[in-house]
């Protein structure tokens, strides 16, 4: 019985290998092979494909200098008493990851934002052992994609595949530098497509694979059997911290659009429809008199937005996007955030029982702003703007400091561009109208409650 099972398993393995490498003749009934014929047959291997791929996958190491903050030793009197230097103390944080050369002539290398974002020093190591200092071209935290550039000869680049042609079950290989061990290849299949709701990136359409991905693989290549780049490995799902066969990669089609904008502008200029939506639940479908709960319903249309010009109204149900079924709010958000400004999309709209198509051209989100000098003379040189829709989706509130002139009262007090003002004195500030409502109020001490990357603190402006 055990022998029969082993023979059946051997036959099944031969069948899969024959289909995998396109050798249908392996399944044909043949006489028992001799030792000479077995030796003459080529062994199935990924090596020929990988010989073309691995020179394009690089190791990336980065160093970031981070200021060390200490409430006790930051006090100038304490520093003077202990004779500490006036310059802030720093520590160096190091990051290790992978990257993929996508343009050999210009030396462009794709990687993850979390590998190189904010780094002061980036080094790229090629498969042949050469090291190069890299220039950061641009990063996009919203998709976790970054582009760096090296100046080197004899580079080899990977072509990008059309990731929309991927199917669950397709064979893929992951190439990177896990744990700093050196270049490593693992193989598996595409386990799922279109994964979202993972990690910190806002625009998500991940490829899930069971090819082993571990720390250090971030930014490395996920390739098909033709040696084409189908994705950039970016994260794993693991209760223990090690590989459990659930890894995720950013698909090449998403990367391609982001990369073009990073190279052209250094950042991604995102379009916006100017609407708020929610999924159509069975309860909402019944309320709107719909026959199914597919699509998403428009709950708000901003005045003067691309959606308003296209004729969309609250209560409209969006059913398709560029001819494809629209099944989630995330799918629409991805399209808004990944297409460049000026792109035109076609939406299928169900309104009052009638189905129609509308075309909308994505525009930049218009954010209202306010000159601080209109609120208080001590705020001259400061400009505030309302938070973007994406920032509000993250649960943030307040107003963004978009400009601070050097040597202004606010700059000397420690207010910085990018700070978010969440309060003035004891008054909570949730949005720009609330801040504008304080015009004319002249407190003796102007105290702003500010949130930044290190938390919240007070800024006293005299």
List active site positions. 114, 144, 218
The whole-angstrom separation of Cα 185 and Cα 101 is 17
Q: Is the Cβ–Cβ distance between 232 and 110 less than 8 Å?
A: yes
**Residue whose structure tokens are 């990051």:** 95
E strand map for 280-377 = 296-301, 317-321, 324-325, 344-351, 354-361, 369-371
- Helix axis angle for 252-265 and 329-338, nearest 10°, is 30
Q: Which two tokens stand for residue 309?
A: 């010009």
Helix (H) or strand (E) holding 149: strand 145-149
Taking alpha carbons only, the member of 160, 174, 273, 166 closest to residue 216 is 174
Taking alpha carbons only, the member of 383, 360, 396, 379 closest to residue 446 is 379
Looking at the DSSP bridge assignments, the partners of residue 431 are none
- Specify burial of residue 59 (Cβ count, 10 A radius: 0-12, 13-18, 19+): buried
Is residue 383 helix, strand or coil? strand
């Amino acid at each position: 019985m055990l022998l029969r099972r082993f023979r059946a398993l051997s036959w099944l393995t031969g069948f899969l290998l024959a289909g995998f490498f396109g050798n249908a003749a392996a399944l044909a009934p043949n006489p028992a092979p001799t030792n000479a014929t077995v030796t003459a047959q080529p062994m199935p291997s990924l090596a020929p494909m990988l010989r073309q791929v691995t020179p394009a996958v690089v190791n990336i190491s980065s160093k970031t200098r981070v200021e060390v903050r200490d409430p006790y030793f930051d006090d100038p009197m304490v520093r003077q008493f202990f004779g500490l230097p006036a310059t802030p103390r720093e520590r160096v944080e190091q990051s290790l990851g992978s990257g993929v050369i996508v343009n050999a002539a210009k030396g462009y290398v794709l990687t993850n934002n979390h590998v190189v974002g904010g780094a002061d020093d980036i080094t790229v190591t090629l498969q042949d052992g050469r090291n190069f200092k890299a220039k950061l071209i641009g990063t996009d935290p919203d998709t976790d994609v970054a582009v760096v550039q090296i100046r080197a000869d004899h580079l080899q680049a990977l072509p990008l595949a059309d990731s929309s042609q991927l199917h669950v079950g397709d064979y893929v290989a992951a190439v990177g530098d896990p744990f700093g061990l050196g270049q490593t290849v693992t193989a598996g299949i595409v386990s799922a497509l279109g994964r979202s709701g993972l990690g910190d990136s806002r625009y998500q359409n991940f490829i899930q694979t069971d090819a082993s991905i571990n720390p250090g693989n971030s930014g490395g290549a996920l390739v098909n059997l033709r040696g084409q780049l189908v994705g950039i490995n970016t994260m794993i799902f693991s209760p223990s911290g090690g590989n459990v066969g659930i890894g995720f990669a950013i698909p090449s089609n998403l990367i391609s659009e982001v990369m073009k904008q990073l190279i052209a502008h250094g950042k991604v200029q995102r379009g916006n429809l100017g609407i708020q939506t929610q999924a159509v639940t069975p309860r909402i479908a019944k309320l709107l008199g719909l026959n199914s709960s597919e699509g998403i319903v428009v709950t708000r249309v901003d005045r003067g937005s691309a959606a308003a010009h296209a004729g969309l109204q609250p209560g409209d149900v969006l059913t398709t996007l560029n001819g494809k079924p629209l099944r989630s709010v995330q799918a629409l958000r991805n399209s808004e955030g990944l297409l460049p400004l000026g792109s035109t999309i076609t939406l299928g709209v169900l309104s009052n029982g009638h189905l129609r198509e509308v075309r909308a051209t994505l525009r930049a989100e218009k954010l209202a702003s306010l000159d601080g000098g209109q609120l208080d003379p001590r705020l001259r040189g400061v400009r505030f703007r309302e938070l973007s829709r994406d920032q509000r989706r993250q649960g943030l509130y307040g107003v963004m400091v978009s400009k601070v002139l050097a040597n202004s009262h606010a700059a000397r007090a420690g207010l910085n561009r990018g700070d978010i003002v969440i309060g003035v004195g004891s008054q909570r500030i949730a949005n720009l109208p609330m801040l504008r409502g304080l015009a004319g109020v002249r407190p003796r001490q102007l105290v702003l409650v500010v949130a930044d990357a290190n938390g919240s603190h007070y800024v006293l402006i005299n």
